[in-house]
């Protein structure tokens, strides 16, 4: 594509843009169970208008745009107050969970560099259920990820296993409230005690849980302590663009004190250009996500959030009970809120996901690990809470249909993958595998079961190569 010689009309452009969405999954109908968090029409409208109001302002320089400073400090303080941050606690808005986590790891690394200079090869301890963003941060920032297995019954990490992994190089402990994959909360209080005992920083990833769990607590649901109430917790990430229902591009990274947060901020004057001071990763940043979050939080108020959380929790219970009532399926662990996954000993859940996709539902496949089975993930939110009965009906049908289908021959695929791993030219062998899995070129796959089967069979390191090659081709 080239920039057109002559500009197109607004009508033509908007019609074309809308047409681009024709193959997207239908989130507006509440059929997508991840990626999108919909607070309902009125709150979404307020968010949209506020977002557009600040489309052009730039958060780069608060001296030019004091409005951006005000929006950020207000949104951060509202979130801190929800998560029991005291007057010493501070934070920043970022573009998402990934950036918040990247910054928490950078802060830990730079604090260790300053205060524990004998550590040359810093390590952070991650439960197997920690989000991949921590591995990305480790990769970007040269911090070694030390992965600790979880209890395969509860899907939670055990504090004693975390403690065993601590070495003289450890700079950071990590736990989730809750984990994305199974939606369970790690033993935050016990890990907080470890952090204090060993004089370590402790980051709680409340990217998905921060807002929702806080309002569950206010509604009287039993929620274990997971926030700054817990001694030893030194930083928390909370994505407002997930269960805070804000527009995408908005997360909060919070620290117990400025003494920790100062290692996050970057300044540079060694240039002919303007003096640069960046508290977060980005420099220029649009005001839309800030204003959108500010508007939404003020529009919903505590009452609005409570209504949403109550509705979603009731729907989540119904959905989990309904899935457990299907003999072939079972919900994994004891999810803390409205995110969970389910597995099957009888049918191939990836085939079930494809069957559901034919009916317009999107359920997210998750791979097996040595201790945990392959499963499908469901994040229920206000925008799809009303679809529980319809989803259950289609799940029951879907299971029946998958049972009549030829099962995917997992053993054959494992053998094929094994042969590729052993072959003298694994890259070429994987190229072949990619072709047979339909993962090539710039076409998007229509069925995922076979692809998921191949990916699930691949050793992690090779799977990553495979996926990188795929995306390297997909974006032409
Ligand atoms: C979504 C998520 C992240 C990453 O957040 P993004 O906003 O997608 O960058 C990190 N941790 C958990 C638990 C998450 O669910």
Atom of ligand 1 nearest to the CA of 206: 13
- Ligand 1 proximity of 226 Cβ (cutoff 6 Å): no
**Predicted local distance difference test score (pLDDT) of residue 440:** 67
CA distance 316 to 320: 6
Q: Taking CA 252 as the corner, what is the angle to CA 251 and CA 257, rounded to the nearest 5 degrees? A: 165
**Predicted local distance difference test score (pLDDT) of residue 441:** 67
From the CA of 341, how far away is ligand 1's center (Å)?
Answer: 16
From the CA of 16, how far away is ligand 1's center (Å)?
Answer: 31
- For ligand 1, pick from 36, 37, 93, 98 the residue to mutate: most ligand atoms within 8 Å of CB: 98
From the CA of 15, how far away is ligand 1's center (Å)?
Answer: 32
- For ligand 1, pick from 179, 239, 240 the residue to mutate: most ligand atoms within 8 Å of CB: 239
From the CA of 422, how far away is ligand 1's center (Å)?
Answer: 35
From the CA of 179, how far away is ligand 1's center (Å)?
Answer: 9
From the CA of 345, how far away is ligand 1's center (Å)?
Answer: 29
Number of neighbouring beta carbons within 10 Å of residue 302? 12
Predicted model pTM: 0.96
What are φ and ψ of residue 236, in 5° steps? Answer: -140, 140
Residues 6+ apart with CB under 8 A from 230: 188, 189, 192, 204
Query: So where are the chain's domains?
Result: 50-295, 410-474
- Ligand 1 proximity of 96 Cβ (cutoff 6 Å): yes
Residues 6+ apart with CB under 8 A from 349: 342, 343, 365, 374, 375, 376
Q: Taking CA 431 as the corner, what is the angle to CA 429 and CA 436, rounded to the nearest 5 degrees? A: 95
- Ligand 1 proximity of 182 Cβ (cutoff 6 Å): no
From the CA of 291, how far away is ligand 1's center (Å)?
Answer: 21
| Burial (CB count within 10 angstroms: exposed 0-12, middle 13-18, buried 19+), residue 3 | exposed
Ordered per-residue pLDDT tens for the chain, 476 residues: 999 999 999 999 999 999 999 999 889 999 999 999 999 999 999 999 999 999 999 999 999 999 999 999 999 999 999 999 999 999 999 999 999 999 999 999 999 999 999 999 999 999 999 999 999 999 999 999 999 999 999 999 999 999 999 999 999 999 999 999 999 999 999 999 999 999 999 999 999 999 999 999 999 999 999 999 999 999 999 999 999 999 999 999 999 999 999 999 999 999 998 889 999 999 999 999 999 999 999 999 999 999 999 999 999 999 999 999 999 999 999 999 999 999 999 999 999 999 999 999 999 999 999 889 999 999 999 999 999 999 999 999 999 999 999 888 888 888 888 888 888 887 777 777 777 776 666 667 778 888 888 888 888 888 888 888 888 888 88
From the CA of 262, how far away is ligand 1's center (Å)?
Answer: 23
Beta carbons of 244 and 250 less than 8 angstroms apart: yes
Q: Please, what CATH class does the domain formed by 50-295 belong to?
A: alpha beta
Number of neighbouring beta carbons within 10 Å of residue 298? 14
Task: Report CA torsion sign: 61, 65, 68, 70.
Answer: positive
Task: Report CA torsion sign: 342, 343, 347, 350.
Answer: positive
- Ligand 1 proximity of 181 Cβ (cutoff 6 Å): no
From the CA of 130, how far away is ligand 1's center (Å)?
Answer: 10
From the CA of 272, how far away is ligand 1's center (Å)?
Answer: 37
Beta carbons of 154 and 184 less than 8 angstroms apart: yes
Ligand 1 atom 12: the closest Cα is on which residue? Answer: 207
- Ligand 1 proximity of 232 Cβ (cutoff 6 Å): no
**Predicted local distance difference test score (pLDDT) of residue 107:** 98
| Burial (CB count within 10 angstroms: exposed 0-12, middle 13-18, buried 19+), residue 159 | buried
Atom of ligand 1 nearest to the CA of 239: 7
- Ligand 1 proximity of 100 Cβ (cutoff 6 Å): no
- Ligand 1 proximity of 186 Cβ (cutoff 6 Å): no
**Predicted local distance difference test score (pLDDT) of residue 464:** 86
CA distance 71 to 1: 38
- For ligand 1, pick from 133, 155, 341 the residue to mutate: most ligand atoms within 8 Å of CB: 133
Ligand 1 atom 5: the closest Cα is on which residue? Answer: 97
């Amino acid at each position: 594509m080239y920039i057109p010689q002559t500009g197109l009309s607004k009508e033509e452009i908007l019609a074309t843009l809308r047409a681009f969405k024709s193959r997207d999954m239908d989130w507006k109908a509440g059929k997508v169970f991840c990626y999108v968090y919909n607070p309902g029409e009125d709150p979404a409208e307020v968010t949209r208008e506020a977002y557009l109001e600040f489309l052009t302002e730039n958060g780069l320089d608060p001296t030019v745009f004091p409005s951006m400073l005000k929006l950020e400090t207000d949104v951060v303080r509202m979130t801190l107050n929800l998560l029991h941050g005291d007057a010493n606690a501070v934070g920043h808005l970022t573009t998402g969970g990934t950036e918040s986590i990247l910054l928490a790891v950078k802060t830990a690394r730079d604090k260790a560099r300053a205060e524990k200079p004998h550590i040359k090869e810093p390590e952070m301890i991650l439960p197997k259920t920690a989000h991949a963003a921590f591995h990305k941060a480790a990769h970007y920032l040269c911090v070694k990820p030390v992965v600790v297995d979880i209890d395969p019954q509860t899907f939670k990490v055990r504090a004693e296993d975390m403690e065993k992994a601590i070495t003289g190089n450890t700079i950071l402990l990590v736990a989730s409230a809750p984990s994305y994959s199974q939606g369970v909360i790690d033993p935050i209080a016990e890990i907080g005690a470890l952090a204090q005992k060993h004089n370590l920083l402790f980051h709680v990833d409340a990217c998905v849980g921060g807002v929702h769990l806080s309002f569950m607590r206010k509604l009287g649901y039993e929620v274990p302590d997971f926030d700054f109430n817990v001694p030893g917790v030194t930083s928390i990430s909370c994505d407002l663009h997930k269960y805070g229902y804000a527009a995408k591009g908005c997360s909060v990274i919070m620290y117990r004190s400025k003494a920790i947060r100062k290692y996050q901020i970057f300044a540079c004057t060694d240039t002919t250009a303007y003096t640069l001071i960046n508290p977060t990763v980005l420099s220029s940043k649009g005001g839309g996500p800030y204003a959108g979050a500010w508007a939404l939080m003020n529009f919903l108020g505590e009452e609005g959030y409570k209504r949403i959380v109550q509705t979603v929790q009731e729907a989540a219970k119904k959905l989990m009970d309904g899935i457990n009532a299907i003999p072939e399926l079972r919900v994994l662990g004891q999810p803390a809120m409205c995110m969970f996954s389910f597995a099957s000993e009888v049918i191939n859940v990836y085939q079930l996901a494809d069957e559901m996709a034919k009916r317009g539902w999107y359920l997210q496949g998750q791979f097996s690990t040595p201790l945990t089975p392959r499963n499908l993930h469901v994040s229920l939110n206000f925008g799809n809470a009303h679809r529980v009965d319809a989803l259950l009906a289609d799940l029951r049908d879907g299971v029946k249909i998958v049972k009549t289908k030829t099962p995917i021959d997992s053993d054959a695929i494992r053998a094929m993958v094994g042969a590729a791993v052993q072959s003298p030219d694994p890259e070429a062998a994987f190229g072949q595998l990619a072709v047979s899995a339909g993962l090539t070129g710039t076409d998007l796959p229509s069925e995922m079961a076979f692809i998921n089967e191949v990916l699930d069979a691949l050793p992690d390191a090779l799977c990553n190569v495979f996926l990188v090659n795929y995306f390297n081709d997909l974006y032409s």
